[in-house]
Structure 1
Amino acid sequence: MSTSDPPERTETVVIGAGAVGCSVAYHLTELGAEDVTVIDQGPLPVTGGSSVHAPGIMFQTSPSKIQTKAAHYTSRLLSDAGVYDEVGGIELARSEERMDFLRRRVEWATSYGLPEPELLSPEEVTEHLPMVNEDEILGGYYSPTDGRVDGIAALQWYMQESSADFYGDTQVTDLDVEGGEVNAVVTDRGRIDCDRCVMATNNWGYQTGQLAGLDLPIAPVEHQYVVTEPMEELSDEETAVGDNTTGLDVPGDRDIAEYMSEGPTRPVGRDQDNSLYFRNHGDALGMGSYNHETLSVDPDDMGENSEERQASVRGFTEEHWTKPTHRNREKSAKQAFDELLPATEDQEYAVTENGIFVFTPDGMPAVGPTAAVDGLWSGLAIWWTHSGGYGRILAEWMENGVPRLPSGPVDTGGIHVQRFEPHAGEKDFFVDRGAKRYEQVYSIVEPRWQPDDHRTLRTSPFYHQQQELGAEFYQSGGWESPQYYEENADLVERYADRIPEQDGWQGINRSPIEAAEHLHTRENVSMFDMTTFSSIMVEGSDAEAFLQRVCSNDVEIDVGQVRYSLLLNEGGGILADITVVRLDDDEYMVTTGGGNSPQIHGNWLKEHAPETVSVTVEEGGKTTIGLWGPKSRLLLQRCTDADVSNSGFPYFRAKQIYVGEVPVIALRVSYVGELGWELWAPTEYGQKLWETLWEEGQDLDVRPMGGGALSSMRLEKGYRLWGTDIDTDSNPLEAGLPFAVDMDTDFIGKEALQAAKDAGIDNRITPLTLDDSTDIMLSGRPVLKDGEAIGYVQAGDFGYSIGESIAYTYVPDEYAEAGTSVQVQCEGETYDATIRDEPLFDPGRDKILR
């Protein structure tokens, strides 16, 4: 820690000396970075950010693998540092629905490697937490390594152990960005020239991004916390309140930082049925609440520290504590706490606050390199719980090009700062979506839940036709994408004997029409809206050489050929799976999926392209129809003069043709394992393309098909889905994609992949089917062998063509042989299952090659 002025030049500037900034700096220097400078607008270590007003509670279990892994790494790191109280954590159930949810917690914890997760009876809960009213609960979930971090002590430890230089009371006034690169961080104490910069300002993340011209969707929100006066029920607990912040410069109310530095001696707890959590602070009790209407803060109005005010703390609003203002909760925070912890009913409060923290539109962190500014990195929307892990991930990414934890590479699709769609930076949008995520923090969110605000932002040219056909729209990347069509309800009766009922949690928001569309496509012909998928045009005299360098497969192909390939990072992890189409000598079309794929994959190609190669991401520039099924050739031939026979238009070939009057790039590829084509056309022609195919196919019983059918059909064929089955945490050999790799070419990630191959592949993806159940398995649920977890469900669905429930999982090589018996735990049930060879459907490819 330094009291002198910041340097005029440094290699790396980290803006923000809170939990994330300190973690990034510590891990960068641990990995060998030598010239790291950390600055913060507040005093050190009590900066005035959320890291020092937060109670520090850490519940590690999440349905997200990366969130759970990051949390567990954080707990181990800070435990070894001596600044973590491993008192355990207990999540309570006050409803049957919550008990079901806690069973899911056990399954997620088992899948992702948390030690000894356990369900507790009410009596067992009160053995740990005697202040809890046993009559108010049905049970609890116990994670013994949960606990609490001492925020101020942890920041001090990071600063002492890191070789980075730290400067407090240093306000950033500008980011010097020129030519798409960050050149310097400008402060009120001088300019700091740098090669790279990390934004770790959390509550001020939007404002920091604005200095670089970026619209980062970081929404600040208030939530409430109180600490009681000393309680008789806790009188046996020792306390150091009064000494915790002695000698430290503390902005605002010193009592807040003082009490937050006082550790718990009993398990931390939470009552998610009422959006509450609690822990003891020595002989006092702290109680936190999300149980009020969302109190969004204008991201431009975060403000600064003063003697009277800590910048990330607002005044306590008593009405939100004593009155039920949360639209999904019947009781106020105080009423619910009084019932659960009766001893608190008449207690006075020594400390009260409305503390601020942030949410992104999807509730996940924003981590990684920004697209628009080289050298500018994001470490935002991260809580104490995950801060150590994401600091390590970000440092590895910056230093070695591979986001990873000591346990191995991690999946970045769900946390990448570049994942946000173009409209996400509009303030009303991300503030509203952040508010919704705040509201859902402790809610039980149903499978396939969909937001009801900010809809119809992006629609395909077929949208009105789809509405007329009764489309049930799901939102993906802002696009309205049909999941199924009510127009196809008559098909359910046709295929009733092949569509098992799905009850309980697995059946929520799922329609039998999805199954009927699957079966109809296998027998007839369907039209699937692929507008959410994107084309990326790669053009120029060096286009082939460039793609050969970034693609794992050999893309030195003839005009009209199509090749499936992967983009890998330096560690051999899968950044994307793509289809490469050669349209001309110097012109390629690269196609990728929907969701966050266009942003992440398109930006990666742009960043790596030389000046002689043009990369254009045509998100929304083209519209696409998947025409699939055994009658697809008959329908397409009716609409074009081009030869679409098997010999005239072979599998994995492309032609530029006319469908009616519409100019189309037709690819003979199929993501459902049936004869078919992807028909790519300029967006303005989309409506006419749909009408032409629809009208010509009526006597063939052409039907629209939604995303539900696509999901089950692609699993039957074993086709991978980036962000679900494959991501940066898996390499092509583990993922069963060796055919997408040509080791005779030179490509990014080849050296790491060769090393992995030489060392032996220990983990492999494989399908399994349930032995005697038609239930659908849900992602994140453990796969067991002899009672021990050997993997977890990556994706699951029912295979309506094969009549079996399918799940895909990665398992150790010794268990990957077909015929191996395993079990799957899902929704509190244990299912017998068998490892199978893939593909499960049409292994000879007779259908797709006909």
Structure 2
Amino acid sequence: MTKSIPQNARVVIIGGGIAGCSVAYHLAKLGWQDIVLLERKQLTCGTTWHAAGLIAQLRASKNMTRLAKYSQELYGELEAETEIATGFRRNGSITVALTEERRSEILRSAAMARAFGVEVEEISTSELLDRYPYVNAQDVTAAVYLPKDGQGDPGNIALALAKGARQRGAQVFEGVKVTGIAKKNGAVSGVSWQRDSSDEQGHIAADYVVNCAGMWAHQLGKVAGVNVPLHACEHFYMVTDNIAGLPQLPTLRVPDECAYYKEDAGKILLGAFEPTAKPWGMQGILDDFCFDQLPEDIEHFEPILEQAVNRFPELAVTGIHTFFNGPESFTPDDAYHLGEAPELKNFFVCAGFNSIGIQSAGGAGMALAHWMEHGYPPFDVSDVDIRRMQPFMGNKTFLYQRSKETLGLLYADHFPFRQKATARGVRRSPLHEHLKQAGAAFGEVAGWERANWFAEQGQDPTYDYSWKRQNWFENSKREHLAIRNNVGLYDMSSFGKIRVEGPDAEDLLNHMCGGNMSVPVGKIVYTQFLNERGGIEADLTVTRLSETAYLLVTPAATVIRELSWLNKHKAGANVVITDITAGEATLMVMGPNSRELLSKVSNHDWSNENHSFGTMQEIELGMGLARAYRVSYVGELGWELYVSTDMAAHAYETLVEAGADIDLKLCGLHAMDSLRIEKGFRHFGHDITEEDHVVEAGLGFAVSTKKPSFIGRDAVLRRKEEGLSSRMLQFKLKDSEPLLHHNEPVLRDGEIVGYLTSGNYGHTLGGAIGLGYVPCKGETIKDMLASSYQIDVEGTLCDAKVSFQPMYDPKGLRMRGLKEAGKRRTEDNTSHGITDTLKEKSPSSGQLRGL
């Protein structure tokens, strides 16, 4: 008898792969009732059934590693709970390098693993052969071994999760396709469904809907009016015949040959992440796709196989049992999608796992269930938060082009500053062609093409990637020093610009911001959106434009996040919230001679007395108009010039022409980052996240607790009363040669106590600079400074100087245009960023918004 489908549910989960089963399991484990999971065909029939089943622990960030480790621990317990054999075993994994650059990468990864609490060993060639005697190790430059990595049976793990959910009351229906998504008052209200191969259909009213539709998640998202950017690609592996005497082996990864080797029941599975992938399903995926595989393409796989025969010589005398080609979905940035969709309240997404769905799904399901239960994730998951996706990224042509690259990037060299090569040029500043003609080397963030550095005459403006000093290092140094010593110009038109206007604008922003928004027209306030836990949801400046209008300026990549947060909390406020990012260009004129340059192009009074730090004024610029903001993300005297896009080219040309006789330097984003880290300015998404308490981040000065009520106020007061559990410090390597990027372990008196949240080279300070949190419960600053500190760079411990204040211009005199030590104008309304945050400070340290 066919089981009847309920008409009401608390939550409907769409998709019965491992992701959907995990979400159902974890919601049921939290005690949710009326859980309904709908699978269009059969459980696991999309991608899960043919996954390789590798279950690694280490990912690219601390919290992604936490989720992967959770998955592994969960899968190790499922069999006892559900009596379904999951095939899980910890057989370990080995990654080998064949080049010096890859050697640097895997040794840095090993150091990162130590910082994240993942057991790891750097092993010699002889130790490699002891653990994996079948490998040709003649050209191996380094190897690392993770003993607790594992593997399992993907299909049975998913079925075990489904059974665990059923045991707690969840209902699972196969052969039921969702045909529509219902909405009411901006929130999801239910789904329409139809039985497979049947006319039976119906509707389920639901408080929540979760899109776990895998390859179909993009299409389902469009039905709901939600952007879920992903595209299926063909994914290949082969399985050998039995190899006599083959023992259980660790998983072997050889990323330089785009290959991995998994021992399974006396056979070897050889999988590939080829550099140029084959997108699939451009016209949509057929409704009857179920446990299907795609046509073989030996020619496409052959280059991988040829190298594999050399790497694993036994393959030359072993037959092929299975050649498999099946589709998997990939996202534009190789990170999966998790969280509440910004377009539709209570519509959540858990999809797009980029061929790491088995190792990710357990943790992803746990995090999403926590999010749905509490209204926020268990810790910062911004790496995979779907709000990072831009609307244009759902474009099919964009996804088709980008997916050719993203599959291969999983095993490509993960060089610092590596830029995507495909699907470029979508969003361009109105100054793009001017910058291109000037020799700009462009990088891409949120689709925006941005000048990262400028080539000299005759130099090719392209990247030559390395873990050492890259080909643009000296270019960026010259740009860095130009801003420190003279004057530089860079384009930040990609800054997010959000206008909040209406009778309730001041009250709304005072509720949402830590800083005080009751300021005069023209005042710029550096502030944060805080959550109820005191974590940082956004890092921005807010400028009062009129009695009823404010401009919010945010990092380029977080505009969707900020808009979502504003709309979520505006309630019945009488305001209009508008994204005006594309309407204005932003030119930065920075450096001790910025006042001289600006005086050449405008009759505005640029003096401290007339235009003090932290204020905005409307000006004439050349023959046009602009707004000049006295702020700085580089720690020098300077202004941000906001110009309507129609006047942007004129403003740029006017500045460049006027700057010719004072050696104005065009500068890029790499220089801006090296400048800001010398000043200890925080980078949102690295140094500060929703998990980092604003006081421990050293930004307590930007919070006005004198306001009677704002989101996070109680958490700020509580932390100040209880004392800090950690502090953000600035580090400088005493050896000027090594480079820092992020995630390098921090050692205090020989013990790992944390890791760097960001790093770059300080050309003024003469060494690599990093920021990172260090535990300090019950300690004074003096206690912490009494310790010795080291940073682990590729397994080498490098001595580091540490500071609570910015090592460059700690009093911020240069940025405020002051020369005499100790002199301070009250209207400057500023303080340095790294300080004793238990003390109240005046609310602005300059422009600290992220890149």
Q: TM-score, normalised by structure 1?
A: 0.88
Cα shift at 1:349: 3.6
* 1:715 maps to 2:682: no
* 1:455 maps to 2:424: yes
Task: Evaluate the alpha carbon distance shift between residue 230 and residue 682 of structure 1 in structure 2; reply closer, same or farther with a 3 A threshold.
Answer: same
The residue aligned with 2:822 is none
**1:79-158 to 2 correspondences below 5 Å:** 79-82=76-79, 83=86, 84-115=88-119, 117-135=120-138, 137-158=140-161
Which residue of the other structure, out of 195, 220, 235, is the alignment partner of 2:207?
195
Aligned partner letter, 2:264 = H
Query: Contact 1:819 / 1:835 at 8 angstroms: preserved in 2?
Result: no
**1:478-517 to 2 correspondences below 5 Å:** 478-486=447-455, 505-517=467-479
Q: Secondary structure of 1:730's match?
A: coil
CA distance in 1, matches of 2:295, 2:358: 22
**1:670-749 to 2 correspondences below 5 Å:** 670-745=632-707, 746-749=709-712
Which residue of the other structure, out of 545, 550, 569, is the alignment partner of 1:583?
545
CA distance in 1, matches of 2:594, 2:101: 45
The residue aligned with 1:782 is 745
Q: Secondary structure of 1:345's match?
A: helix
Task: Evaluate the alpha carbon distance shift between residue 516 and residue 133 of structure 1 in structure 2; reply closer, same or farther with a 3 A threshold.
Answer: closer
Query: Contact 2:234 / 2:279 at 8 angstroms: preserved in 1?
Result: yes
Deviation track 1:198-243 (CA, whole Å, cap 9, x = no partner) reads: 1111211111112113342201111122333333123xx7xxxxxx
**1:234-245 to 2 correspondences below 5 Å:** 234=246
The residue aligned with 1:302 is 285
CA distance in 1, matches of 2:29, 2:704: 36
* 1:186 maps to 2:192: yes
The residue aligned with 2:810 is 843
Query: Contact 2:427 / 2:447 at 8 angstroms: preserved in 1?
Result: yes
Aligned partner letter, 2:767 = E
CA distance in 2, matches of 1:803, 1:602: 40
Cα shift at 1:458: 2.1
Q: Secondary structure of 1:808's match?
A: strand
**1:269-288 to 2 correspondences below 5 Å:** 269-288=252-271
CA distance in 2, matches of 1:372, 1:528: 33
CA distance in 1, matches of 2:207, 2:450: 41
Cα shift at 1:374: 1.8
CA distance in 2, matches of 1:120, 1:393: 34
Aligned partner letter, 2:291 = Q
Cα shift at 1:759: 4.6
Q: Secondary structure of 1:126's match?
A: helix
CA distance in 2, matches of 1:805, 1:291: 35
Structure 1: gaps of 5 or more residues: 238-264, 325-331, 491-501
Cα shift at 1:67: 2.7
Query: Contact 2:28 / 2:35 at 8 angstroms: preserved in 1?
Result: yes
Task: Evaluate the alpha carbon distance shift between residue 510 and residue 111 of structure 1 in structure 2; reply closer, same or farther with a 3 A threshold.
Answer: farther
Query: Contact 2:749 / 2:788 at 8 angstroms: preserved in 1?
Result: no
Cα shift at 1:284: 2.7
CA distance in 2, matches of 1:71, 1:211: 31
Cα shift at 1:626: 1.2
The residue aligned with 1:665 is 627
Aligned partner letter, 2:17 = G
Query: Contact 2:78 / 2:161 at 8 angstroms: preserved in 1?
Result: no
RMSD: 2.4
Query: Contact 2:544 / 2:551 at 8 angstroms: preserved in 1?
Result: yes
Deviation track 1:138-183 (CA, whole Å, cap 9, x = no partner) reads: 5531111100132233223322333322211211122224553322
Q: Secondary structure of 1:664's match?
A: strand
Query: Contact 1:792 / 1:809 at 8 angstroms: preserved in 2?
Result: yes
**1:371-770 to 2 correspondences below 5 Å:** 371-382=342-353, 383-404=357-378, 409-412=379-382, 414-486=383-455, 505-594=467-556, 596-611=557-572, 612-745=574-707, 746-770=709-733
CA distance in 2, matches of 1:472, 1:515: 15
CA distance in 1, matches of 2:229, 2:345: 19
Query: Contact 1:819 / 1:834 at 8 angstroms: preserved in 2?
Result: no
Deviation track 1:239-292 (CA, whole Å, cap 9, x = no partner) reads: xxxxxxxxxxxxxxxxxxxxxxxxxx4322222222222222223332222347
Deviation track 1:501-541 (CA, whole Å, cap 9, x = no partner) reads: x9962312533121111111122222221101121100011
The residue aligned with 2:74 is 77
Aligned partner letter, 1:278 = Y
Aligned partner letter, 1:469 = A
* 1:365 maps to 2:336: yes
Deviation track 1:553-574 (CA, whole Å, cap 9, x = no partner) reads: 2212121211111012333321
* 1:207 maps to 2:219: yes
The residue aligned with 1:352 is 323
Query: Contact 1:781 / 1:826 at 8 angstroms: preserved in 2?
Result: yes
CA distance in 1, matches of 2:767, 2:144: 33
The residue aligned with 2:763 is 800
Task: Evaluate the alpha carbon distance shift between residue 520 and residue 646 of structure 1 in structure 2; reply closer, same or farther with a 3 A threshold.
Answer: same
Task: Evaluate the alpha carbon distance shift between residue 464 and residue 614 of structure 1 in structure 2; reply closer, same or farther with a 3 A threshold.
Answer: same
Deviation track 1:811-838 (CA, whole Å, cap 9, x = no partner) reads: 1115973353211111343211122122
Cα shift at 1:488: 8.7
Aligned partner letter, 1:337 = A
CA distance in 2, matches of 1:58, 1:800: 41
CA distance in 1, matches of 2:141, 2:443: 35
CA distance in 1, matches of 2:815, 2:100: 47
For these two proteins, the number of residue pairs brought into alignment is: 788
Query: Contact 1:716 / 1:841 at 8 angstroms: preserved in 2?
Result: yes
* 1:225 maps to 2:237: yes
Aligned partner letter, 2:647 = Y
CA distance in 1, matches of 2:136, 2:600: 72
Deviation track 1:411-438 (CA, whole Å, cap 9, x = no partner) reads: 41x3221212332111121122122011
Task: Evaluate the alpha carbon distance shift between residue 714 and residue 3 of structure 1 in structure 2; reply closer, same or farther with a 3 A threshold.
Answer: farther
The residue aligned with 1:60 is 57
Task: Evaluate the alpha carbon distance shift between residue 456 and residue 305 of structure 1 in structure 2; reply closer, same or farther with a 3 A threshold.
Answer: closer
The residue aligned with 1:328 is none
Aligned partner letter, 1:132 = V
Q: TM-score, normalised by structure 2?
A: 0.88
Percent identity, please. Answer: 31
CA distance in 2, matches of 1:77, 1:70: 10
